[in-house]
Structure 1
Amino acid sequence: MTTTTSTRGSARSSMIDLAYVAIFAALVIVFAFVSIPVGAAGVPVVLQNAVIVLAGLVLGGRRGFLAAALFLALGLVGLPVLAGGRSTLSALGGPTVGYLVGYLLSPAVAGALAYRARPRRRGEQIAWFSIAAAVGLLVQYACGILGLMWRSGLSLAEATVSQAPFILPALGKFAVMVIIALAVHAAFPDLLSRPKHPGK
């Protein structure tokens, strides 16, 4: 009876995890179509890269990674999952390929860091979630820089400088994601207190 109950509990937990992953993958895709024009030139600031890290902050490293993997996999079959209506497949051959790698890695890293915070310790949560978001952003930029060097032939300095106009908007976006993630965990504290899956 104990084994049966445990099996049922594990199956239910897996189904819940699958639902979380699917919901966040869909959310990331939806935000591919949200952009905010900034400045006289109207260069858009997209929210998708921040929502990807939000998946890690809310779901943890493993489930955040799976949400990113699912969203990118859907793009491999031609669905327009990326900003600008592009598919993952169309972006693989371009200079932004490094960001795709960053999209995959950043929720895993951010989630693993965020989930080091103990539930119901507000100050600790704020600190860990802020660090996690900053590192997630750094991972995306680092991968993007490497991709630009590879595909566009830019030097390290040139590729790094090209990120400068986007840093301040990105910091603002990621700060909002931290606030949202903290609010979600305040409403659902059990998300941070599931010890069976390390790194979640």
Structure 2
Amino acid sequence: MQDLAYCAVFAALIIVFAFVSIPVGAAGVPIVLQNAIVILSGLILGAKRGFLATALFLVIGLLGIPVLAGGRSTLAALAGPTVGYVVGYLFAALVAGAIAYRATKGTSAVVTLAIAAVAGLAVQYLLGSFGLMLRADMGFGPALAANAPFIIPDLIKLAAAVAIATGVHKAFPDLREKA
């Protein structure tokens, strides 16, 4: 029952942070916090629970509820060029959680969490690029290059996510044992 509550809370956080966005240039693709919260769910909850929290938020969006940046539903995103990023959310939480839960205590835990966060972001970028190839008829190089303007802001968000996850795991050491 506790796992269900964790997943529900993180699904809600992911949805709430969809509405925190910074418009960027004429391209209309905003910088959002949602992708970092997806990775944070993996860092804190681990692979299984992070995946389930992300899946829950996406299923809510399949019902037509606006859970993504720009007030879009999952259904709308699946039909557009961002499909790969949406699918990437699932696997980002899974990968980040799998790596994060291998962390030990101390300084190495922070390093492991940072590696987990960057790996989760890499999954988002890779799958997002495949979605751009599929839906926007781009080649792999240009699709991957489309992520470039977001690298620095995303790394800043991930630094905050690692700091938060480190604090949560220090405050609630039993969280890992119950994963």
Report the TM-score when normalising by structure 2: 0.95
Which residue pairs with 1:140 in the alignment? 124
Query: Within 5 A, what are the aligned runs for 1:35-114?
Result: 35-37=21-23, 44-114=30-100
Task: For structure 2, list consecutive stretches of 5 or more residues without a partner in the other structure.
Answer: none
Give the letter for the 1:75 counterpart.
G
Return the offset for 1:163.
1.0
Task: For structure 1, list consecutive stretches of 5 or more residues without a partner in the other structure.
Answer: 1-14, 195-199
Which residue pairs with 1:152 in the alignment? 136
Return the offset for 1:193.
3.0
Q: 1:43 to 1:94 in 2, by over 3 A?
A: closer
Give the letter for the 1:183 counterpart.
G
Query: Within 5 A, what are the aligned runs for 1:13-24?
Result: 15-24=1-10
Q: 1:109 to 1:43 in 2, by over 3 A?
A: closer
Counterpart CA distance in 2 for 1:89 and 1:37 is: 22
Return the offset for 1:172.
0.6
% identical aligned pairs: 61
Report the TM-score when normalising by structure 1: 0.85
Return the offset for 1:32.
0.6
1:174 corresponds to which of 132, 145, 158:
158
Which residue pairs with 1:187 in the alignment? 171
Counterpart CA distance in 1 for 2:136 and 2:28 is: 24
Return the offset for 1:38.
5.5
Query: Within 5 A, what are the aligned runs for 1:20-39?
Result: 20-37=6-23
Return the offset for 1:43.
6.2
Residues 1:116 and 2:102 are matched in the alignment: yes
Return the offset for 1:187.
0.7
> Which protein shows a greater Rg?
1
Return the offset for 1:40.
9.8
Which residue pairs with 2:149 in the alignment? 165
Any idea what the Cα deviations from partners look like across 1:11-42, whole Å, max 9, x if unmatched?
xxxx0000000000000000010113467999
Give the letter for the 1:180 counterpart.
I
